[in-house]
Amino acid sequence: MTQQKKQTVVRKKIAKTFGSASRSYDVSARLQRFSGKHLMPWLPNRNDLTVLDLGSGTGFFTDLLAGSYKKVIGLDFSKEMLHFAAQARDKDISWIEADAHKIPLQDNSIDLIYSNLVIQWCEPLDVAVDEMLRVLKPGGLIIFTTLVDGTLHELKSSWKQVDDDQHVIDFKTEAELAEFFNHDRASVIEHKCQDIVLEYQNVIHLARELKGLGANHLPKKRNRGLSGKDKWFAMTEHYQDFLEPNGIYPATYRLYSGLVVKRNN
């Protein structure tokens, strides 16, 4: 199987994973709500724009964008997510089932791309960035959040003491993101990076929330079966090293927010 075919298979599996979470996603999405609202101050204060919500999911923020802009398109690769969004959101929104690596829109047709916690799933990322810049008008903006290296370090560290399998996806570093968005075609105008710590009753609570977000697809995982009970209990024992004084289990999400402009070349 070629590398391109392998990547297509992986993306289809991720789409299926997120699709199965469509009904529970809005309940579980504490982080998505925070990060999406965090981007609002960067949105242009004019309503005559064509906006693409890249990775629109259940359409929560697509719906908010539709209240401010002339034309809003929600794009997602999960048929189930799009079906949910079409039923629940503003009827004037256009919905497209597609992959960020092959956006079915014309060159230079979009004024603003909004993308909330999506590009960490895009592999290879350079192809997705090229597609975003292709459909974006010169001078257009990409406003996005993603997770970077350091995310879920408590979970990663706890599992590392049990085995060497993959239990948390590999997130890119801030420096790697800068390389993708700072070049002759685009420039990062502003960016922020901050640690968001969410609290959980126990490790099972964390695992259920990650599953509810559809964020449990691990392309490099060797053992496809469920982790044995002994390994799970060993991991939870190690996780207690991070336990807060009030008995709450913390999980750190390193959130990167970026404002990118397409150069007028």
The answer for 221, left when phi > 0, alpha when psi is -120 to 50, beta otherwise, is beta
Question: Is the pLDDT assigned to residue 265 strictly greater than 90?
Answer: no
Dihedral (Cα; 162, 221, 130, 25), 10-degree rounding: -80
| Cα–Cα dist 136/53, whole Å | 12
Share the mean pLDDT of the chain: 87
The answer for 108, left when phi > 0, alpha when psi is -120 to 50, beta otherwise, is left
Q: How many domains does the chain have?
A: 1
**Extended strands (E) in the chain:** 50-54, 71-76, 94-97, 110-116, 136-147, 186-200, 249-262
| Cα–Cα dist 79/16, whole Å | 8
| Cα–Cα dist 128/232, whole Å | 35
| Cα–Cα dist 170/86, whole Å | 32
239 belongs to a structural domain: no
> What confidence score (pLDDT) does residue 207 get?
87
pLDDT > 90 in the chain, percent? 71
DSSP state of 82: H
34, two tokens: 């925070």
- Choose among 117, 73, 116: nearest CA to 98: 73
> What confidence score (pLDDT) does residue 11 get?
46
pTM, 2 dp: 0.86
Q: Render pLDDT for 96-130 as a digit per residue (tens, 0 to 9).
A: 999 999 999 999 999 999 999 999 888 899 999 99
| Cα–Cα dist 103/200, whole Å | 37
Phi, psi (deg, nearest 5) at residue 98: -165, 170
Question: Is the pLDDT assigned to residue 2 strictly greater than 90?
Answer: no
Strands 249-262 and 186-200: antiparallel
CATH number of the domain that residue 104 is part of: 3.40.50.150
182, two tokens: 């700072």
> What confidence score (pLDDT) does residue 105 get?
98
> What confidence score (pLDDT) does residue 221 get?
59
| 117 contacts 56 by C-beta, under 8 angstroms | no
| 17 contacts 77 by C-beta, under 8 angstroms | no
78 belongs to a structural domain: yes
137, two tokens: 């008008």
Q: How confident is the model at residue 166 (pLDDT cuts 50, 70, 90)?
A: confident
**Listed ranges 163-177, 180-194, 209-223; the one with the highest mean pLDDT:** 180-194
- What is the average per-residue pLDDT within 218-239? 76
Q: Render pLDDT for 18-36 as a digit per residue (tens, 0 to 9).
A: 444 444 444 457 888 999 9
Question: Is the pLDDT assigned to residue 57 strictly greater than 50?
Answer: yes
Q: How confident is the model at residue 82 (pLDDT cuts 50, 70, 90)?
A: very high
Q: How confident is the model at residue 1 (pLDDT cuts 50, 70, 90)?
A: low
212 belongs to a structural domain: no
Q: What is the residue range of 129's domain?
A: 3-149+170-197+251-262
225 belongs to a structural domain: no
| Distances from the Cα of 96 to the Cα of 78, 90, 203, angstroms | 10, 14, 36
- What is the average per-residue pLDDT within 169-180? 93
56, two tokens: 């629109």
Please give the residue that has the higher pLDDT: either 83 or 224: 83
| Distances from the Cα of 158 to the Cα of 161, 162, 167, angstroms | 6, 7, 10
